[in-house]
Every structure is written in structure tokens, then in C-alpha cells.
């Protein structure tokens, strides 16, 4: 387990993405994945009010109730991208939080994300609304997703100056073939401000599992078209190194790709989803996989 920044949230090194629950995984399949994940030691589940039109939260809530697992599962959800609630106004945050609590069947959210930045709402208003929820005990910690470095830095400064709840984590898109938006200024800020990082699309929509190859099958996933966009020279080179390292460690390409993320100094728990237990089985080995510096460098160079 790894602690998220200056919190008391100790989490498994693989965060289970709930975006597929109620979408490409029905309730029965979602329960099977959640059961297998927790049986392997997992305790960190990520969802959002947006996912499957809210059904993801409800499925997770029903699973928590039926399994009696609320006390040992860290639940993260998000606000700010769902339809008419696609903003971070105070009234939106309040209403969305109450609905998420009801859908999840819980009395508090462990980690509540601003799903994306809202340039139309003052940062102070957003943070004050989050702060109210924290003070009421309905949210334990807050976090940001899809923020750039200047806006995230501004939010942190306001929290420090005004004594408001402070973002403890960031959820950016980050993986071996999508590095530019996180590495550099944003990554440096996360290290400097001690923010835990939970990358999403850590497997580049499935590309880094090795499923998509030149001349290979088109795939049956809703993400397959975008995943295959990475089949350029760089993407093929990355797959080649992943193949070698996966064979050397007798593990999956997915586990190696996620382990590369975990080698970053601020990454706590990459997010990856599975629509069935077979897919989950390819992810779980990351919990025990440690790459050498040379192996990390080889992947980094291939992905340059």
C-alpha cells in the first residue's frame, strides 16, 4: 500500500477504474471484477457521476452494500463534466456530491475530484464549496483532474492563503505514448507540492496491452479506433520493448506499462479498468513488479 500525499489514505498500487461499469460491463460482470480485485488486495476504486450516466456509481454502491466492504475501500468520484452539471459552481458541487453519496450508498466520499477545470467559475467559489463538504464530513479529501500547471498552482495558492481544503492529488492523462501534457511543468509541480498522481488512460485505451498490432485485429472495444492511432513508429517501438520486458519478467505488457508509470516519483496508483476478470488478471501483477533503472530508461527512450 502507498499513502496519498499528506492524507491517511493508504491505497493499492493499482486503482480500479469504474468507467466501464454499466457501460461495457454489466452489473454481474462488474461485481465479478470488483470481487477479484479486492480478493487480490485491491482497495482503491475510481468512478464519476458522468460514467454510464451515473450507473457506475450505483453499481459500485450496490456492490459495497452487498459485500459489506465500505470500511476498507477507498472510493474516489468526480464532479464537473456530467451534462448540465458540467461546471464547478458551488451549487453544482453541492447537488452532485449529495447525489453521488446517495448513488454510492455511503455517508462520505474519500477522494472527490474536480473532473476538469472550469474557467467560468472563480477558483475561490469552487474551493469554498469543496471546503464546506470537507468540514461537514461528507468528503474526506479533494483532488483535481485535467488541470494544467498554472491553474493547479493557482488553486493550491488560494487554498493555502484562504485556509480552504487543498487538492491532495491530480488525475492527468499519462502513459508511455501520451507524455507531453504531464511531464515537465505539471509533473514538477506535483512533486514540489507533494500531490499524489493517479494517471488515467495508463494503458492508452488498451494500446499498451499489446492487443493492437500492425495488420492485427481491429478489436471489439469502443476504444479500439483511438487506441490504434498509436500504431506509428514510436508506438511500435514501445510495444517492442514492452514485449521484451514482459517476457523477461514473465508477466503481461499491461503490468510493465503500469510499472513504468509507478516509477515516476509522484505517481501513487495508476488507474486501469477491466470489463472482465481476464482483463483484470493482466493488470494485477503490477502490484509486485519493479522495473530496474535500465528497464525504465529503455521504455522512456522508446517512447521519446
Please answer whether residues 78 and 112 qualify as being in contact, where contact means their C-beta atoms are separated by less than 8 angstroms.
yes
What does the CA dihedral 115, 120, 122, 125 come to, rounded to 10 degrees?
A: -60
Find the Cα–Cα–Cα–Cα dihedral 176, 177, 179, 180, rounded to 10°: 160
- Which secondary structure element, helix H or strand E, spans residue 111, and what is its range? strand 109-114
DSSP string, 54-105: GHHHHHHHHHHHHHT-GGG-EEEEEES-BTTB-S--HHHHHHHHHHHHHHHT
The count of other CB atoms within 10 Å of the CB of residue 183 is 14
**8 A C-beta contact, residue 197 and residue 174:** yes
Which cell is 219 given?
478489436
Separation between Cα atoms, residue 253 and residue 245, nearest integer Å = 8
CB 79 within 8 A of CB 116: no
User: How do 139-145 and 2-3 pair as beta strands?
Assistant: unpaired
Catalytic, 112? Answer no
d(CA 49, CA 100): 7
Catalytic residue from among 51, 113, 167, 200: 51
The CA–CA distances, whole Å, from 29 to 18, 26, 35, 74, 303 equal 12, 5, 10, 21, 34
DSSP β-bridge partners for residue 45: 16, 75
- Between CA 226 and CA 178 the distance in angstroms is 12
- Residues labelled as active-site residues: 51
Amino acid at each position: 500500500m502507498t499513502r496519498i500525499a499528506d492524507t491517511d489514505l493508504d491505497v493499492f498500487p493499482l486503482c480500479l477504474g469504474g468507467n466501464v461499469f454499466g457501460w461495457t460491463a454489466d452489473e454481474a460482470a462488474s461485481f465479478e471484477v470488483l470481487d477479484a480485485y479486492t480478493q487480490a488486495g485491491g482497495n482503491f476504486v475510481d468512478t464519476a457521476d458522468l460514467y454510464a450516466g451515473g450507473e457506475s456509481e450505483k453499481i459500485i454502491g450496490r456492490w459495497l452494500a452487498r459485500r459489506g466492504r465500505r470500511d476498507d475501500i477507498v472510493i474516489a468520484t468526480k464532479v464537473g463534466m456530467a451534462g448540465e452539471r458540467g461546471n464547478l459552481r458551488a451549487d453544482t458541487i453541492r447537488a452532485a456530491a449529495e447525489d453521488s453519496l446517495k448513488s454510492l450508498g455511503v455517508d462520505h466520499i474519500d477522494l472527490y475530484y474536480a473532473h476538469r477545470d472550469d474557467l467560468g467559475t472563480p477558483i475561490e467559489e469552487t474551493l469554498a464549496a469543496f471546503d464546506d463538504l470537507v468540514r461537514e464530513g461528507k468528503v474526506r479529501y479533494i483532488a483535481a483532474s485535467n488541470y494544467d500547471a498554472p491553474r493547479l498552482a493557482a488553486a493550491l495558492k488560494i487554498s493555502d492563503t484562504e485556509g480552504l481544503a487543498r487538492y491532495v492529488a491530480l488525475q492527468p492523462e499519462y502513459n508511455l505514448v501520451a507524455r507531453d501534457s504531464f511531464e515537465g511543468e505539471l509533473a514538477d509541480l506535483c512533486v514540489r507540492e507533494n500531490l499524489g498522481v493517479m494517471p488515467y488512460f495508463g494503458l492508452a485505451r488498451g494500446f499498451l496491452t499489446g492487443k493492437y498490432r500492425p495488420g492485427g485485429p481491429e478489436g471489439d472495444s469502443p476504444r479500439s479506433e483511438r487506441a490504434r492511432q498509436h500504431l506509428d513508429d514510436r508506438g511500435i517501438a514501445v510495444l517492442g520493448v514492452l514485449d521484451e520486458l514482459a517476457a523477461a519478467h514473465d508477466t503481461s505488457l499491461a503490468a510493465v506499462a503500469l510499472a513504468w508509470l509507478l516509477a515516476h516519483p509522484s505517481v501513487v496508483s495508476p488507474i486501469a479498468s477491466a470489463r472482465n476478470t481476464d482483463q483484470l488478471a493482466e493488470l494485477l501483477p503490477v502490484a509486485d513488479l519493479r522495473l530496474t533503472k535500465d528497464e525504465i530508461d529503455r521504455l522512456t527512450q522508446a517512447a521519446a
